């Protein structure tokens, strides 16, 4: 399955690690690393600005324009923000404030099939970069033509046309991000600092610590770069909305600008990223069945990678809570606190700004107190758990997102821990992945992240439909964030690293 350098076998056995030949022969260069960071600068705008802010508001606005009051006969009054309305959704009706949540849930369902269908294939040959660019350009183009395509149909049709484009773009973004994250463990093995350290015959602990530091820095820098790019696009989006004087049209063009940004900046990683080829797919394997076979085999081997499996369960619920908080809070602020679209954009500027700051603030805390990656995840996940608890206090107390000024406090607090917890989770998981299975396992990572994202929007959307009060949806989020915090306590990171190495070694022996 992997070809090893003969003269290194004795050292690798001693260190308890493995080096794949192509990784050893192609050390990481500054130019390639710059291209990798530039990819985050290109696609980060989608996660932070487009799907994170613009699209939920656009979908809600379009749904209201095509919606009806609760009697399902009288057209919805779009001038009254707290007027409860429903819109046709499939064979039934959905609350207009829940429509975007259902669309995101639907897109996540399709994402899972893309993840499984292509991730394992990218661990063979030179497919990783090919898949990365194919899905990236497809998603970016769908977003770039957003405003133009919406003008094709009738106004009553725009909401579902926008829904289809959202599903396409979100599926492609998620699939591409699998292959982007798969570079982290590879870069941590071929980074010049790590390769230099290897020449000094280091201890196993020192080598692993060096790779962990590289992975943490890669995660932190790429995450913060994505937030900064999203922040810039949000600023431009705000200028478009103010310049056109129409929130609806302005937001649609802001979405298209985000897609255009994504397309343009993709040019840099297209030319600078290397393929880092893997062994070719065995000729006896079916290209369509192989990914599902590999995923099934990996799931069955969970008992051999128990620490990795526990992490994925915890990440499932943590990411679900994180991914649902922002759109749910935006809809709550819009419908319950009468926060208009322009104010929502300003609030959304605060989140990525504080997230980028928070990444480095918590990194300084980690270094100063010499805390482990696991400890940093526990701290950040608990701080995020406080977010839905605070909103729920609004049921019985005079505060708890009951006043408009609290929205600004909410955004700052949430943002400070958001980027940090994402960065540290990526770092910890990259150390729990068997060598040579980066795409396959990061596929599972994003399946649990994005795959869980259908749960939060679906459940909170159903709660909002049933109660016509978005605040009730935060009950579910409180559970989604408490459960992973408890699971993270039980993870033994060191054992997980050793289990991953044993898994990769056994797989290699089976395929020799």
- Segment 155-174 mean pLDDT: 86
- Is the Cβ–Cβ distance between 46 and 258 less than 8 Å? yes
- Tokens 């069945």 belong to 289
Question: What's the pLDDT score for residue 35?
Answer: 95
- Is the Cβ–Cβ distance between 402 and 469 less than 8 Å? no
In this predicted structure, the answer to whether residue 497 has a pLDDT above a threshold of 60 is yes
Least confident of 103-112, 177-186, 188-197, 355-364: 103-112
Q: Which residues contact 390 (CB under 8 A, 6 or more apart)?
A: 400, 401, 410
Band (16; pLDDT cuts 50, 70, 90):
very low
Q: What residue spans define the domains of the chain?
A: 36-278+301-511
Which pair of structure tokens corresponds to residue 419? 């980027």
Least confident of 88-92, 344-348, 419-423, 452-456: 452-456
In this predicted structure, the answer to whether residue 330 has a pLDDT above a threshold of 80 is no
Least confident of 25-29, 61-65, 235-239: 25-29
In tens, the pLDDT along 345-395 reads 788 788 888 988 999 999 999 989 989 999 999 999 999 999 999 999 999
Question: What's the pLDDT score for residue 453?
Answer: 62
Rounded to whole angstroms, the Cα distance separating 438 from 455 reads: 26
In tens, the pLDDT along 384-417 reads 999 999 999 999 888 888 888 888 888 899 999 9
40: closest CA among 250, 254, 217, 269? 269
Band (509; pLDDT cuts 50, 70, 90):
low
In this predicted structure, the answer to whether residue 101 has a pLDDT above a threshold of 70 is yes
- Segment 74-97 mean pLDDT: 78
- Is the Cβ–Cβ distance between 99 and 59 less than 8 Å? yes
**Vertex 32 angle, CA 422 and 235, to 5°:** 50
Least confident of 11-20, 148-157, 280-289, 441-450: 11-20
| CATH class assigned to 36-278+301-511 | mainly alpha
Rounded to whole angstroms, the Cα distance separating 300 from 294 reads: 10
Question: What's the pLDDT score for residue 153?
Answer: 59
- Tokens 């707290």 belong to 82
More confident residue, 154 or 264: 264
More confident residue, 184 or 204: 184
Mean pLDDT, the chain, integer: 82
- Tokens 């985050």 belong to 40
In tens, the pLDDT along 270-303 reads 999 988 877 777 777 777 777 777 777 777 766 7
Q: Are strands 68-69 and 85-89 parallel, antiparallel or unpaired?
A: antiparallel
Q: DSSP string spanning 105-132?
A: HHHHHHHHHHHHHHHGGGGSBTHHHHHH
Question: What's the pLDDT score for residue 234?
Answer: 87
In this predicted structure, the answer to whether residue 451 has a pLDDT above a threshold of 70 is no
Q: Give bridge partners of residue 93 from the DSSP assignment.
A: 88
- Segment 84-112 mean pLDDT: 81
18: closest CA among 182, 214, 204, 277? 204
Percent of the chain with pLDDT over 90: 27
Alpha-carbon distance values, 247 to 58, 75, 142, 237, 418 (Å): 9, 20, 21, 10, 27
Q: Which of 25-34, 74-83, 111-120 has the highest mean pLDDT?
A: 25-34
Question: What's the pLDDT score for residue 175?
Answer: 85
- Is the Cβ–Cβ distance between 229 and 343 less than 8 Å? no
Q: Tell me how far the alpha carbon of residue 366 is from its chain's centroid.
A: 23
In this predicted structure, the answer to whether residue 12 has a pLDDT above a threshold of 50 is no
Band (18; pLDDT cuts 50, 70, 90):
very low
424: closest CA among 230, 213, 189? 213
318: closest CA among 261, 377, 252, 269? 377
- Tokens 């459960």 belong to 483
Class of residue 493 by CB neighbours under 10 A (exposed 0-12, middle 13-18, buried 19+): middle
Percent of the chain with pLDDT over 70: 89
Question: What's the pLDDT score for residue 46?
Answer: 93
Q: Which residues contact 432 (CB under 8 A, 6 or more apart)?
A: 305, 307, 308, 311, 441, 493, 496, 497, 499, 500
Q: Which residues contact 478 (CB under 8 A, 6 or more apart)?
A: 385, 388, 389, 392
More confident residue, 393 or 96: 393
Q: Which residues contact 270 (CB under 8 A, 6 or more apart)?
A: 133
- Is the Cβ–Cβ distance between 429 and 435 less than 8 Å? no
Question: What's the pLDDT score for residue 9?
Answer: 35
Q: Quick one: CA dihedral 495, 496, 497, 501, positive or negative?
A: positive
In this predicted structure, the answer to whether residue 19 has a pLDDT above a threshold of 70 is no
Alpha-carbon distance values, 291 to 298, 443, 450, 507 (Å): 11, 11, 18, 16
Band (20; pLDDT cuts 50, 70, 90):
very low
In this predicted structure, the answer to whether residue 1 has a pLDDT above a threshold of 60 is no
Question: What's the pLDDT score for residue 258?
Answer: 94
Residue count (the chain): 512
- Segment 473-487 mean pLDDT: 91
Question: What's the pLDDT score for residue 445?
Answer: 84
In tens, the pLDDT along 301-328 reads 667 889 999 999 999 999 888 878 877 8
171: closest CA among 46, 341, 48? 46
Rounded to whole angstroms, the Cα distance separating 247 from 96 reads: 17
Q: Are strands 85-89 and 92-95 parallel, antiparallel or unpaired?
A: antiparallel
In tens, the pLDDT along 194-215 reads 888 888 888 877 888 888 889 8
């Amino acid at each position: 399955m992997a070809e090893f350098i003969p003269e290194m076998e004795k050292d690798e056995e001693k260190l308890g690690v493995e080096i794949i030949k192509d990784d050893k022969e192609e050390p990481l260069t500054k130019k390639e690393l710059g291209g990798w960071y530039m990819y985050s600068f290109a696609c980060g705008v989608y996660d932070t600005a487009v799907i994170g802010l613009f699209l939920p508001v656009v979908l809600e606005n379009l749904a209201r324009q095509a919606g009806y009051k609760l009697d399902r006969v009288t057209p919805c009054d779009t001038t009254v923000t707290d007027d409860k309305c429903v819109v046709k959704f499939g064979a039934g009706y959905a609350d207009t404030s829940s429509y975007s949540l259902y669309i995101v849930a639907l897109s996540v369902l399709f994402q899972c099939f893309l993840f499984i269908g292509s991730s394992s294939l990218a661990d063979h040959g030179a497919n990783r970069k090919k898949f990365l660019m194919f899905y990236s350009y497809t998603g970016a183009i769908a977003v770039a033509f957003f405003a133009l395509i919406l003008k094709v149909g009738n106004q009553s049709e725009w909401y579902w046309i926008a829904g289809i484009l959202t599903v396409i773009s979100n599926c492609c973004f998620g699939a591409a991000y699998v292959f982007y994250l798969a570079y982290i463990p590879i870069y941590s093995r071929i980074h010049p600092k790590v390769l230099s350290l290897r020449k000094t015959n280091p201890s196993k602990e020192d080598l692993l610590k060096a790779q962990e530091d590289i992975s943490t820095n890669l995660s932190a820098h790429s995450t913060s770069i994505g937030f900064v790019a999203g922040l810039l696009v949000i600023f431009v989006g705000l200028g478009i909305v103010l310049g056109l004087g129409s929130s609806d049209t302005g937001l649609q063009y802001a979405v298209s600008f985000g897609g255009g940004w994504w397309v343009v900046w993709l040019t840099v990683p297209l030319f600078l990223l290397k393929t880092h080829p893997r062994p070719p797919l065995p000729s006896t394997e079916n290209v369509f069945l192989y990914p599902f076979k590999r995923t099934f085999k990996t799931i069955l081997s969970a008992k051999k990678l128990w620490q990795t499996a526990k992490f994925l369960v915890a990440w499932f619920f943590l990411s679900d809570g994180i991914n649902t908080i922002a759109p749910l809070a935006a809809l709550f602020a819009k419908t319950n606190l009468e926060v208009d679209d322009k104010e929502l954009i300003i609030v959304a500027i605060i989140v990525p700004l504080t997230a980028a700051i928070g990444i480095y603030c918590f990194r300084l805390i980690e270094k100063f107190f010499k805390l482990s990656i696991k400890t940093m995840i526990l701290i950040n996940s608990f701080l995020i758990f406080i977010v839905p608890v605070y909103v729920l206090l609004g049921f019985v107390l005079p505060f708890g997102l009951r006043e408009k000024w609290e929205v600004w406090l909410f955004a700052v607090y949430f943002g400070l821990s958001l980027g940090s917890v994402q960065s540290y989770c990526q770092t910890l998981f990259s150390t729990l992945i068997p060598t040579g299975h980066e795409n396959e396992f990061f596929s599972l990572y994003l399946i649990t992240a994005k795959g869980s994202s259908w749960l939060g929007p679906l459940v909170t959307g159903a709660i909002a439909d049933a109660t016509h009060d978005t605040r009730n949806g935060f009950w579910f989020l409180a559970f989604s964030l408490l459960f992973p915090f408890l699971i993270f306590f039980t993870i033994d990171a060191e054992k997980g690293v050793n289990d991953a190495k044993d898994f990769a070694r056994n797989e290699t022996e089976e395929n020799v």
